[in-house]
Amino acid sequence: MAAPDMRESDQEFCARALAYLKPALPDGEPDEADIVLSREHSPVLTNLNNGLLVAYLVDQVDHFRYVQQRHLDGAGLTQAALHQQGIANLRALLKQKDIKVQPYGNVFTILCGGNFEASAVLLDELWSNALAHLAPNGFVVAIPCRDILAFCDAGNASGLQELRHIIERVHALGLKIFGATIIPFEGSTLPANTALGEANRLAVNEWIRNSGAYDAVVDFDLATSDPKHSARLSPAYDSGDHMHPNDVGYQAMAEAIDLSLFDE
């Protein structure tokens, strides 16, 4: 890749942004070790309201630069427009890198050269189309770090056991790992929208809640399901496709996260 023109405009800079997945940190008062940035120098972050953020990186050949608020203002872009551009660029990058899916027993990993494997979770069509045949009963995904993404079929007991081994290896490093239940999807176009798929979802959620594999569990299923019919999203939280929550639904998911889990 040629070195970027140092005179490029904010609009040109933002046009090259790549969507990049990051974990959210708990809100709170900054301590002495924190660096507090002004608004103009703060990175643009889209909160997915599920414990994850999307930042926007621009490739500078030997490093990445964050898109900051000053770039967004200078380009005259909305954050929504930047996000759309970042997703499109991420999609093009992964296609260029010839994304590979490597099986390891009953677990699959995504490989695309480092840095953006975890960000692949942002590409809905990758999961609903290209990878759907690998997990007809729905996906259980583990994202330990930016360049590792592992998944298995929600109905594959051996795959779930292998993901559990991943959890054990994380614990062996002295780290904590939290689990989150699968939200309902009755009425959606997901291949798992079957009686068997629902039975598998319930079984996986039961394992997540009660297996003891995780240090804590965030119950997104309980937070978003219809109290009168637990196999579907609450109508108040349904975006319309019966599998993705709307803004109010994502807020309910955010409120289901106990931020004290991140105090240590």
User: What is the rounded average pLDDT of the residues 15-37?
Assistant: 71
Q: Check whether residue 114 and residue 91 sit in a common domain.
A: no
Residue 1 within a domain: no
Confidence grade of residue 25 (pLDDT, cut at 50, 70, 90): low
71: nearest Cα among 17, 3, 5, 2 = 17
246 and 146 in a single domain? The answer is yes
* Mean pLDDT across the chain: 84
Domain final residue pick, 75, 95, 115:
95
Asked if residue 106 and residue 48 are part of one domain, the reply reads: no
Measured CA to CA, the distance from residue 170 to residue 176 in angstroms comes to: 7
Q: What percent of the chain has pLDDT over 90?
A: 28
Q: Which domain holds residue 230?
A: 98-262
Percent of the residues in the chain that have a pLDDT greater than 70, as a whole number: 90
For the residues 257-263, what does the mean pLDDT come to?
A: 73
141 and 87 in a common domain: no
CA distance 254 to 208: 18
Interval 36-81: pLDDT, tens: 778 889 999 988 766 778 999 999 888 899 999 999 999 999 999 9
Number of domains in the chain: 2
Helix (H, G, I), strand (E, B) or coil at 262: helix
Helices (H) and strands (E) in the chain, counts: 8, 12
Q: Is residue 113 domain-shared with residue 220, that is, in the same domain?
A: yes
Tell whether 27 and 153 lie within a shared domain.
no
Q: What is the pLDDT of residues 172-229, one digit of tens each?
A: 888 777 888 888 989 987 766 788 778 878 888 888 888 887 888 888 899 999 999 9
Looking at 43, 77, 95, the residue that finishes a domain is: 95
CB atoms within 10 A of CB 233: 25
Q: What is the pLDDT of residues 241-250, one digit of tens each?
A: 888 889 898 8
Reading the block at residue 212, the tokens are: 């003891």
For residue 182, give the CATH number of its domain: 3.40.50
**Residue 205's pLDDT is what?**
86
Is residue 81 in some structural domain?
yes
Q: Among residues 135, 188, 124, which one has the least CA distance to residue 159?
A: 135
Return the exposure string of 37-59: e unless at least 16 CB atoms fall within 10 Å of the residue's CB, then b.
Answer: eeeeeebbbbebbbbbbbbbbbb
Question: Would you say 240 and 7 are in contact if contact means Cβ atoms under 8 Å apart?
Answer: no
Q: What is the pLDDT of residue 1?
A: 47
Domain finish residue from 95, 122, 142: 95
Whole-model pTM over 0.85: no
Choose between 85 and 169: higher pLDDT. Answer: 85
